């Protein structure tokens, strides 16, 4: 006998076809941004220290600094 793979169970059950939009949760509140930018502006921490300590992506931190100016 030849092997035949099982047929697809339900192809219409696709999570991308939901009508409700999927939003990304913003985990950085304005208070957190101000706290971190305050540490940089006061000289208490450097940008590299903030990136290492709080695990914030470098591009995100640079974007915050640009918007602050």
Instruction: Encode pLDDT of 28-62 as tens digits.
Output: 889 999 999 999 999 999 999 999 999 899 999 99
What pLDDT is attached to residue 24? 59
Q: Does position 4 have pLDDT exceeding 70, yes or no?
A: no
Position 59 scores a pLDDT of 93
Predicted pLDDT at 38: 95
Is there a contact between 18 and 12 (Cβ–Cβ < 8 Å)? no
Q: What is the DSSP letter of 6?
A: P
DSSP one-letter code for 15: G
Of 6 and 33, more confident = 33
């Amino acid at each position: 006998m030849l092997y035949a793979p099982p047929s697809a169970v339900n192809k219409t059950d696709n999570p991308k076809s939901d009508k409700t939009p999927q939003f990304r949760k913003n985990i950085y509140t304005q208070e957190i941004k101000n706290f971190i930018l305050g540490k940089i502006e006061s000289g208490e921490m450097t940008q590299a220290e903030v990136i290492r300590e709080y695990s914030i992506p470098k591009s995100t931190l640079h974007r915050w600094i640009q918007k602050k100016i």
